[in-house]
Amino acid sequence: MSGDGVVEVPGRRGLLDEVEAAEADLRAAAEARPVADQSDLTAYFAAVIAADQKVEPRDWMPEAYRKGLIRQIAQHAHSEIIGMQPEGNWITRAPSLKRKAILLAKVQDEAGHGLYLYAAAETLGVSRDELVDLLLQGRQKYSSIFNYPTLTWADVGAIGWLVDGAAIVNQVPLCRCSYGPYARAMIRICKEESFHQRQGYEILYTLANGTPAQRAMAQDAVNRWWYPSLAMFGPPDRESTHSEQSMAWKIKRFSNDELRQRFVDMCVPQAEVLGLSLPDPALRWNEQRGSYDFTPPDFDELFRVIAGDGPCNRQRMAHRRRAHAEGAWVREAAAAYAAKHRSSDAG
């Protein structure tokens, strides 16, 4: 704990430093353009990637690069929006006014992340409406993790610590993604996710140092969220369809397994400070590798959940469809207001 009574998450500062370094490099990359002759578009694109500069919406890009980015950014945006549901479930039952205000702000932040990401995807020539339709028709995915239920208040802490923690480990390298609008969105998102992780950690810290029943509730939540959080990083490298191309284009900077390992190595000391255990008897420090050995998640379960058969898939999609239909009047009113202003500006 720091001097002002704030619970610090061990290792958090290092991740924030990486985000700041990525932000500085992003500015430098923008100033350094252009790298080469633009008469050969394919060669120019390859040179921008090789020089670690940024591809911007105005630039020519291979169709597969554009489509791959739309796939990943849209899936990411949908995850943020669907991801509001498991925690939103606890806003009315938060144990104090302060906890309620913090959770409300956190869930609103996730909506904001969805909007930054839809805006980044729109720079690739698709509209947000199209992407939302694809989600509602089940033709685009969202993260497996949001298909698990939040059974107790401690789950809100476990989501903040583990799910936001995994999100940060995955997303800090995306601040260096070769596509400028995605990289810029990720910098802002990572700064906010860092606060989210800290609020979850602080909830668990309080429960772990509370009554025996509160401590047991915290441990139970960690036991249930650990493996689904490990699965968030995707299939093992040998079964990952997109990693190789994505890494060649510097969209992804590390493989699924590399990031999963980084997450485990980050969580072990954090769990020690919490005084909670991680539910893996095989977890131990490997001196030779300089990392922890651990039991991987059940990837068959991951594929089942991705295919729609997780504990809450149907509930999440039904809720999203209902919320979308109930929000139709807001979209219509906003469009009518914009049209009215356009015609009065033209007059």
> Cβ 16 to ligand FAQ, closest distance in Å?
17
CB burial of 82-103 (b: ≥16 within 10 Å; e: otherwise) equals: bbbbbbbbbbeebeeeebeebb
> Cβ 283 to ligand FAQ, closest distance in Å?
21
Minimum CB distance to ligand FAQ smaller for 167 or for 274 = 167
Cβ-based neighbours of 196, under 8 Å, separated by 6 or more: 106, 109, 160, 164
Minimum CB distance to ligand FAQ smaller for 137 or for 288 = 137
> Cβ 47 to ligand FAQ, closest distance in Å?
24
Minimum CB distance to ligand FAQ smaller for 112 or for 275 = 112
Residue closest to ligand FAQ, measured at CB: 83
In angstroms, the CA 323 to CA 197 distance is 27
SS3 134: helix
Minimum CB distance to ligand FAQ smaller for 110 or for 155 = 110
φ/ψ of 285, rounded to 5, equals -65, 130
> Cβ 137 to ligand FAQ, closest distance in Å?
14
Task: Report the candidate in 264, 269, 266 with the shortest Cα–Cα distance to residue 280.
Answer: 264
Measured CA to CA in angstroms, residue 127 lies from 9, 140, 194, 251 at distances of 38, 14, 29, 21
Q: What are the residues binding ligand FAQ (CB under 6 A)?
A: 71-72, 75-76, 79-80, 83, 110, 141, 143-144, 159, 163-164, 167, 170, 231-235, 240-243, 246, 252, 256, 306
> Cβ 148 to ligand FAQ, closest distance in Å?
12
CA torsion, ordered 247, 253, 255, 256, to nearest 10 deg: -120
> Cβ 310 to ligand FAQ, closest distance in Å?
10
Minimum CB distance to ligand FAQ smaller for 155 or for 164 = 164
Minimum CB distance to ligand FAQ smaller for 159 or for 172 = 159
SS3 292: strand
In angstroms, the CA 289 to CA 284 distance is 11
